[in-house]
């Protein structure tokens, strides 16, 4: 899940509810790149995207 707070964006794990480390990110593309580098996984399930943090991946 992705939370938006004005111009800020935050990635939320669909399994545990944990959030991406960079809570001050205001650029969606950079947030996604950083999360992938940190081990987050993204996949589409039906019409919705799922976001899984590195801890829940294992």
Output 54 or 5, whichever has higher pLDDT: 54
| pLDDT at residue 29 in the model | 85
d(CA 37, CA 9): 17
- Residue 40 structural domain: 2-57
pLDDT at 8: 79
pTM of the model: 0.79
Neighbouring CB atoms inside 10 A of 25's CB total 19
Token look-up 């999360």 returns: 35
Domain count, the chain: 1
Q: What confidence score (pLDDT) does residue 23 get? A: 54
Tens digits of residue pLDDT in 4-49: 777 778 889 999 999 886 656 677 888 888 899 999 999 999 999 9
């Amino acid at each position: 899940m992705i939370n938006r707070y004005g111009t800020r964006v935050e990635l939320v794990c669909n399994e545990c509810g944990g959030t991406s480390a960079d809570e001050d990110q205001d650029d969606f593309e950079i947030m996604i790149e950083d999360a992938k580098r940190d081990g987050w996984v993204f996949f589409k399930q039906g019409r919705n995207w799922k976001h899984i943090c590195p801890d829940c991946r294992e």
